[in-house]
Structure 1
């Protein structure tokens, strides 16, 4: 009977819908789960002209997914990781460089204060000894600050070295999921869970580097770096590696099949892009700026001392030894080992009480120097401006991080509005499809009663 057939298709469709609803409810707290539903289609009559139809069928299982919102999720994850992993470095630098006792300014001010004190009595041995002591203290300030930056560089590079393992795991997972989705889809299997797993892997990879994701007709997704080099094409995945040099610098490589790319300057966004940007735009220029200040103090002080005369009337000697970054020498700034008596404060060999040369050394505080990250600045103001620039960089990063966090939260909320499971909505669907099933079973019961009544009448 058509009535029974219609009711049977209706009850079966309700069962499929209930299964989809129960799956949604079961995954209410599953991260990245995309809710599913059924598309019901009325079956047209095939024979009887006056038939209402042949029931209903589940023509498709629906994934409630919006590709634009997926893309927004991945982009926002790249941005938030771009800034979040660099902020701890900036915070530490701000704290150390701005410290009243540990800063470069504290060391420089102490050294020039001792020089000013010696100008009162250039022949005073205790005052001269104080100059040597403060010079050594200043050198230690520079060395300590350089060590902080060097330690951050080492930590950053170790952090970057650990990223390829995570990236390659995600790349391999995406490629495998692409392969499984094509195979399972061809066999008619529901691939929603595989797509969810692939999207989670893409999101994880996006947290490491900015991506371009392209959907293909066969259901696969191709993934490439924002700058172009491919990471995943169909079931093929590339491999990222980081190699170090003797100087500590790193090269980031991408291997895809037989092609090899050097991609260090092509990775933008994500944790790896953020670390690279911080290293190139903040950390290395800061280290060079510290070296610039130290070199200027050492060179200019030494130049003046070597044209003066010490307490015994002998030609002056250098006070500092400066070691450039990467020279391999121990300490950026060191003392040569001359004694307090050998400080050449006098411009007159016959008059140890003369302080003309000392006055010129003191005047260095107001001498313009060139610092790589801030340009021309008075020597006495160099550290203050360096700390100020660092503060600006940190505040800018905090602002960008806050914006990225807001965008990420909004992207998640937008995704949830389309793809997330809503318990209230599912509860309504559960009741609706349960009623649908019970109603169809009632129709079958009515049809059976009619059939029995017809048989009884015929008998």
Structure 2
């Protein structure tokens, strides 16, 4: 009887639809889950004057928008680039601008000590000791700042190495899921959960580096860097590597061929960290080193041009070692207050301040500093800090924009693919009613069948 077949198909279809709704509700809080629904279609009559042959579930559909998914991955890359950079910028800005530890204040204190000697008594041992003490404090400030630079540089190297490992794991996952999805799709199996897992892996990878993703007819997705170098082709994935040395070069091996990579152009966390390292951290570190080298050279040269109170030639006060990890600047070993050569000549006598005045004038001399160009010694550190503050503010602005775009992308994705509890509740009620109605039709069909048998008996 067609009435019985129609009702049975309706009951089965409603059960499948209820299963889809229940799966959606079960995954209400599952990150990255894409809601599904049963697609129903009327079955046409086979011949004659039949009304039809009931209903069928033609497919289980995924509510997914490719454009919105791509926007989600793009926003992850932008957010990754700026979010990883900001903590380094903030730390460096705070250290360099700190009133109690910045280099500018150390320079001011050193020259203030020289001025105190010149204004009171150039032969005063306590005042001369203040100069040596201020020189030690200035050295410590240079060294403390240099240690911050070195620590950040090491941290960035370690973080980039971790990103390589994380990226390789995501690439392998995407390639494996491509293979599973292609095979399952060919067999007619629902692959929605596999696609969700792959999309999550791509989203994680996109936060590490900027990606281009292309769908393929077999259900797989090819993934490449923004410059076109392939990371995943079907079930084949690339392998990223780094040598881990001081220069930390990067490369990628795909299908037996190795390619060099420029991490600064990769985007995402890798690109953001590399850009900060190359464009901000290392130039600022070099700028501070330029200041330390030229300042100490000028002071040493001027001291060596004068004479001490005993008439001996002056000695170098500072030692500058750019290759030292913790002591870039230090006071020369064994340097005593009596070694300070403030007199212009032996004939001028111990009370002469001719050379001392030239030492005081060094503060207003010009030097060439990386990142800021030609500046006065007194202004060099301030301008480096100002340049760093500008970089930090620009990154903060870009980070705020990236966070907004990411939130919008997530909301747009959820509006299409996310599970809405109210909608699923309505679906449950509707398909429950559909099932009950079809079971009622089956009951009526059974009654009609029994009545027909009774009439024939």
TM range (shorter): over 0.9
TM-superposition CA deviations, 1:312-365 (whole Å, max 9, x none): 2233222212112xx247511122243222222222221132222221221121
CA contact (8 A) 1:225 1:267 kept: no
Q: How does 1:34-433 map to 2 (within 5 A)?
A: 34-48=34-48, 50-120=49-119, 121-245=121-245, 248-265=246-263, 267-324=265-322, 327-328=323-324, 331-337=327-333, 338-351=335-348, 352-433=350-431
1:440 matched to which residue of 2? 438
Distance (whole Å) between structure 1 residues aligned to residue 340 and residue 114 of structure 2: 11
Shift of the alpha carbon at 1:390?
1.7
TM-superposition CA deviations, 1:230-286 (whole Å, max 9, x none): 1111000111122122xx221122111211122133543322221111111111111
Indicate the SS of the match to 1:250: coil
Shift of the alpha carbon at 1:195?
0.2
Distance (whole Å) between structure 1 residues aligned to residue 227 and residue 444 of structure 2: 66
Shift of the alpha carbon at 1:454?
3.1
CA contact (8 A) 1:323 1:329 kept: no
Residue ranges of structure 2 left out of the alignment (5+ in a row)? none
Indicate the SS of the match to 2:263: coil
Distance (whole Å) between structure 2 residues aligned to residue 453 and residue 232 of structure 1: 66
Indicate the SS of the match to 1:86: helix
CA contact (8 A) 2:264 2:272 kept: no
2:14 matched to which residue of 1? 14
Indicate the SS of the match to 1:85: helix
CA contact (8 A) 2:146 2:326 kept: no
Q: What is the TM-score with the length of structure 1 in the denominator?
A: 0.95
Shift of the alpha carbon at 1:117?
0.9
Distance (whole Å) between structure 1 residues aligned to residue 357 and residue 112 of structure 2: 12
Residue ranges of structure 1 left out of the alignment (5+ in a row)? none
Distance (whole Å) between structure 2 residues aligned to residue 299 and residue 74 of structure 1: 52
How many residue pairs were aligned?
454
Indicate the SS of the match to 2:240: strand
CA contact (8 A) 2:304 2:313 kept: yes
